[in-house]
C-alpha cells in the first residue's frame, strides 16, 4: 500500500472515532473535528488523483 493511502485511511478512521466520541459524550467540538478530518481526507484524496 502507498503511504498516502495509509494516511488517508488513518485520517478517516480517526474522524469516525472523533464523531462517535462526540455523539456519546454529547459534545460538539469532537464532532466538528471529525467532520473537519473527513473534509481534509476528501481534499487529500482529490489532490492525489
One DSSP character per residue, 4-29 reads: HHHHHHHHHHHHHHHHHHHHHHT-HH
Residue 32 has pLDDT above 60, yes or no: yes
Structural domain that includes position 32: 3-48
Centre a 10 Å sphere on the Cβ of residue 8 and count the other Cβ atoms it contains.
Answer: 17
Predicted local distance difference test score (pLDDT) of residue 46: 86
Residues of the chain with pLDDT > 70: what percent?
92
pLDDT band for position 44 (cuts 50, 70, 90): confident
pTM above 0.85, yes or no: no
User: What totals of helices (H) and strands (E) does the chain contain, helices first?
Assistant: 2, 0
C-alpha cell at 22: 462526540
Q: How far is the CA of 42 from the CAs of 5, 29, 36, in angstroms? A: 12, 20, 10
Amino acid at each position: 500500500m502507498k503511504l498516502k493511502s495509509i494516511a488517508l485511511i488513518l485520517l478517516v478512521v480517526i474522524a469516525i472515532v472523533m464523531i462517535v466520541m462526540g455523539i456519546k459524550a454529547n459534545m460538539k467540538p469532537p464532532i466538528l473535528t471529525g467532520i473537519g478530518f473527513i473534509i481534509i481526507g476528501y481534499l487529500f484524496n482529490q489532490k492525489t488523483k
